[in-house]
């Protein structure tokens, strides 16, 4: 009964925190008009269609089009910043009402989604390193590797010609990662949507375009099949109106015209301007780590005592818990909790809650084993001696075994703290904006991979070393005490 009460209390705390803080995972970009508010998923690492500027605002062709259409049709919206694959899965699991993310209208996607009228006619081009003078056509790709971004027209086009021209496809989730693979020479070329690569070349991303544009599917706004038809109708009507009044043309010229902004910042200036976004991501990383470790410790206490208890059934339950949550990779657990469960159960789960549940359950399984190992490391003779002197089992455990076990557990707890802090980076795959995802977002805008990843690495290093030193100091104090 006590175990059940503690579990219920822990779950209640998680839900309350999620209710209060889940807004952190959704950045409001709603216009001020009255009407229904829709949650729109996007990929903010796809400049010039959607990206985050240095002030933390979501900008780009898609963002400006959506804002103009929302004002024209008098509806509100909130942007849910996700990666492209995560945005598509969020739409499938009804976590968002619609997706605008440079999403190509294909026959396969039409089986699951309803699309608006085309709002941008895309096409595919091949890019190579700016210093490469040997690759000029598809024939030059034979026997080599080609980088592509998953879910794009570039990926589909590469698949369609890979056998004919004898090259190997290397998939990536972000355009910036794909470009870096080409610049480092791991892949000799990449296939990308023409406006995206042209924008990147204009921003000095280190590549150049060497082929003519291949015709590809156009971009469209998507909603789930048969759902949110009123939103789809408003998008189409608004798109027609802003094309008629010239707003559509103005938006496209803003990002792809002759006067489109170009990158001209020095390395140190670029890092300085990126620090506010990175520090914000660091703060969220620490928040997720602290909260998830708090609940992981509660979970570990419950199942840890169950594993060393005298009840065979409870020991079995604890063993199954540990086997499940240590056996499932963290990334799979995150996808299952955030996309799988809501889709199966028919409800929407806040991103903050999904992240805390994922980290807490994963860390809780390891904390369970830390507690079990610490308790069992104490000589059984001490418990037997205490019982022979008339002490009850529970009192002997709390007064004699646990104080000694804590000293044994401390190094493992410190190690788990560091692991959980680093594990937050994995949850960027479901759209959690922490330090690593913040770095990706900055790189998507600046294409300065070396400078930004070096800054992110130093920030992680400073935080982890600082926390480790504090924990080591506390460990010494506890051992002396």
pLDDT digits (tens, 9 = 90+) for 393-426: 777 777 777 777 777 788 888 889 999 999 999 9
d(CA 287, CA 282): 9
Tell me how far apart the alpha carbons of residues 79 and 204 are, in angstroms, rounded to a whole number: 28
CATH number of 31-120+219-256: 3.40.190.10
DSSP 159-190: HHHHHHHT-EEEEESSHHHHHHHHHTTSSSEE
pTM: 0.75
Residues carrying CATH 1.10.3720.10, the chain: 267-480
Domain 123-215 of CATH type 3.90.580.10: no
Burial of 414: CB neighbours in 10 Å, binned 0-12, 13-18, 19+: middle
Q: Closest Cα to residue 128, out of 144, 106, 152?
A: 144
Which candidate, 346, 233, 364, 353, places its Cα nearest to that of 298?
364
| pLDDT value of residue 163 | 94
- Helical spans, DSSP H, in 22-125: 61-73, 84-92, 107-110
Six token digits for residue 385: 């001696």
Q: Are 207 and 200 in contact (CB under 8 A)?
A: yes
As a whole number, mean pLDDT of residues 123-137 equals 93
Would you identify the CATH topology of the domain 267-480?
MetI-like fold (1.10.3720)
Q: What is the mean pLDDT of the chain?
A: 86
Q: CATH 3.40.190.10 region(s) of the chain? A: 31-120+219-256, 123-215
Indicate whether 10 pLDDT > 60.
no
Q: What length does the chain have?
A: 481
On the CB side of 44, CA atoms within 13 Å amount to 29
């Amino acid at each position: 009964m006590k175990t059940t009460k503690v579990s219920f209390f822990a779950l209640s705390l998680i839900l309350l925190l999620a209710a209060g803080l889940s807004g952190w995972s959704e950045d409001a970009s709603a216009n001020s008009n009255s009407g229904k508010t829709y949650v729109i998923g996007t990929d903010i690492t796809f400049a010039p269609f959607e990206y985050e500027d240095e002030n933390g605002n979501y900008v780009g062709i898609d963002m400006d089009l959506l804002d103009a259409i929302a004002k024209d049709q008098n509806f509100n919206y909130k942007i849910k910043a996700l990666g492209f694959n995560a945005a598509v899965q969020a739409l499938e699991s009804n976590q968002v009402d619609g997706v605008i993310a440079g999403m190509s209208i294909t026959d396969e996607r039409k089986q699951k989604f309803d699309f608006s009228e085309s709002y941008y006619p895309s096409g595919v081009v091949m890019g190579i390193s700016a210093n490469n003078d040997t690759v000029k056509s598809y024939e030059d790709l034979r026997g080599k590797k080609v980088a592509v971004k998953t879910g794009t027209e570039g990926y589909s086009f590469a698949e369609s010609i890979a056998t004919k021209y004898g090259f190997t496809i290397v998939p990536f989730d972000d355009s910036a990662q794909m470009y870096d693979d080409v610049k480092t020479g791991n892949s000799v070329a990449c296939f990308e949507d023409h406006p995206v690569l042209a924008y990147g070349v204009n921003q000095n991303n280190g590549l150049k375009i060497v082929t003519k544009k291949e015709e590809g599917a156009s971009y469209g706004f998507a909603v789930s099949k048969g759902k949110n038809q009123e939103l789809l109708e408003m998008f189409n009507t608004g798109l027609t109106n802003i094309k008629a009044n010239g707003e559509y043309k103005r938006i496209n010229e803003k990002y792809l015209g002759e006067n489109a902004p170009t990158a001209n910042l020095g390395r140190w200036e670029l890092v300085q301007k990126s620090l506010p976004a990175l520090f914000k991501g660091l703060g969220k990383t620490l928040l997720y780590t602290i909260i998830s470790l708090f609940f992981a410790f509660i979970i570990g206490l419950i199942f840890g005592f169950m594993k060393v208890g005298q009840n065979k059934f409870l020991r079995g339950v604890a063993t199954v818990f540990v086997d499940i949550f240590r056996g499932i990779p963290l990334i799979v657990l995150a996808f299952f909790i955030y996309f799988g469960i809501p889709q199966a159960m028919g409800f929407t789960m806040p991103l903050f809650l999904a992240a805390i549940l994922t980290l807490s359950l994963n860390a809780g399984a390891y904390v369970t084993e830390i507690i079990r190992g610490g308790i069992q490391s104490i000589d059984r003779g001490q418990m037997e001696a205490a019982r022979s002197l008339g002490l009850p089992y529970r009192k002997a455990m709390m007064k004699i075994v646990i104080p000694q076990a804590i000293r044994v557990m401390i190094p493992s707890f410190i190690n788990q703290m560091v692991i959980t802090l680093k594990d937050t980076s994995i949850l960027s795959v479901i759209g959690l904006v922490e330090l690593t995802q913040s770095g990706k977002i900055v790189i998507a805008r600046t294409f300065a991979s070396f400078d930004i990843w070096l800054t992110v690495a130093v920030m992680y290093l400073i935080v982890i070393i600082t926390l480790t030193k504090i924990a080591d100091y506390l460990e010494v104090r506890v051992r002396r005490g």
